[in-house]
Amino acid sequence: MLPDPKYFEYNGHLRENTIEFSKWRSSDLQFDKTHQNKIQHVIVDNIDKIKDHRVLDLGCAAGYLPYLCHYYGAKHVTGVNVRSDEIKVANYFAEQVGMTNYNFVEQDIEDFSKTEELLKNVDTVIISFVLEHIRNPEYLIRLIAKSNVKHLIIGSTIVEDSITQPKLYYYTHDTEWKYNAHDGDRKKGLACCPNSRWLETVLYYHNWLIQDYKKCDQFVPWWFEQENLDTIPWFEKHVYFTSTRRQT
Ligand SMILES: C[S@@+](CC[C@H](N)C(=O)[O-])C[C@H]1O[C@@H](n2cnc3c(N)ncnc32)[C@H](O)[C@@H]1O
């Protein structure tokens, strides 16, 4: 059973950074289909990799997925976000809902030496719709593979192209929107989007055994209204991969 959707409401109010916890209401708020899919395929389908595990959520927005990890019995959860406002809200929210055994860290996940530190003493890593906002997603997956992490849960936007080779499409992203890529003070940042073959290949190459794979129809027409730096892809979906370290 999912928690009361009111706990999700702060994700919306976060845009204003003004709403006090006591004013949050259950109201008639519902999880939309996109978020239902995310919660199902990132969290609920992977409860055995979350419950009693130490979880690291890279690119945690305002901490909703860490909250769900806590709700489903994670031993400890760390959320990382490069944006300080969201880390503040995540801490505030966690305190209000009585979360225990958590930590929110303000950090760029592409600051790889720091991320390597965070990967110590972690069983499960979640990267939910973040790979496509950074510049070197392959290096991040490699770093996780080099650590002792056992499970890797990825949700990602993909380009549905007709190309069978692994491919990353680079584009520039509006960094003022807080769910996007981040690039210091710049208003535009470089980001990328893989095709499905890229994710499969990179996971395989770095010894991740894909245990579960879901593809969801999720056409978001505005996604590629950004400036593209390559062939303009014309279709986009969401995919979810659950991988476990392959024995070599
Ligand atoms: C599309 S949102 C996804 C949020 C959340 N994981 C989810 O699935 O709802 C991308 C998140 O990654 C964060 N982010 C983007 N680039 C980052 C970076 N280099 N380091 C850390 N966080 C980053 C953004 O601030 C934002 O919270």
For 123-133, how does the pLDDT look when each residue is reduced to its tens digit (9 = 90+)? 999 999 999 89
β-bridge mates for residue 153, sequence order: 126, 242
Is the pLDDT at 111 greater than 80? The verdict is: yes
Under 8 Å between Cβ of 204 and 125: no
Closest CA to 239 of 208, 220, 209, 212: 212
CA of 82 to the centre of ligand 1 (A): 8
pLDDT band at 235 (very low <50, low <70, confident <90, very high): low
pLDDT at residue 189 in the model: 83
pLDDT band with cut points at 50, 70 and 90 for residue 106: very high
What pLDDT does 220 receive? Answer: 56
User: Ligand 1 centroid to 65 CA: how many Å?
Assistant: 11
pLDDT bracket for residue 186 (50, 70, 90): confident
Our answer on whether the CB atom of 69 is closer than 6 Å to any ligand 1 atom is no
Q: Where are the domains of the chain?
A: 6-13+30-245
- Ligand 1 geometric centre to CA of 153 (Å): 15
Task: Give the angle 195-196-200 at the CA atoms, nearest 5°.
Answer: 125
| Spatial distance between the Cα atoms of 55 and 124, rounded to a whole number of angstroms | 5
Q: Which of 87, 179, 193, 222 to mutate to test the pocket of ligand 1 (most atoms within 8 A of CB)?
A: 179
pLDDT of 14 strictly over 60? no
Ligand 1, residue 127: give the atom nearest the CA: 6
Q: Token digits for 158?
A: 């993909």
Query: Is the CB of 129 inside a 6 Å radius of any atom of ligand 1?
Result: yes
Q: Structure tokens of 38?
A: 């995310």
Q: Does ligand 1 lie within 6 Å of residue 114's CB atom?
A: no
| Homologous superfamily of the 6-13+30-245 domain (CATH) | Vaccinia Virus protein VP39 (3.40.50.150)
Please indicate whether residue 167, judged by its CB atom, sits closer than 6 Å to ligand 1: no
How far does residue 87's CA lie from ligand 1's centre (Å)?
A: 11
Of the chain, the percentage scoring pLDDT greater than 90 comes to: 50
What are the φ and ψ backbone dihedral angles of 99, each rounded to 5 degrees?
A: -65, 150
The verdict on the CB of residue 191 being under 6 Å from ligand 1 is: no
Nearest CA to ligand 1 atom 15: 181
pTM of the entire predicted model: 0.91
Question: What is the reported pLDDT for 11?
Answer: 57
Q: Which 3-state string (H, E, C) describes the chain?
A: CCCCCHHHHHHHHCCCCCCCHHHCCCCCCCCCHHHHHHHHHHHHHHHHHHECCEEEEECCCCCHHHHHHHHCCECEEEEEECCHHHHHHHHHHHHHCCCCCEEEEECCCCCHHHHHHHCCCCCEEEEECCHHHCCCHHHHHHHHHHCCCCEEEEEEEEECCCCCCCCEEEEEEECCCCCCCCCCCCCEEEEEEEEHHHHHHHHHHCCEEEEEEEEEECCCCCHHHCCECCCCCCCEEEEEEEEEECCC
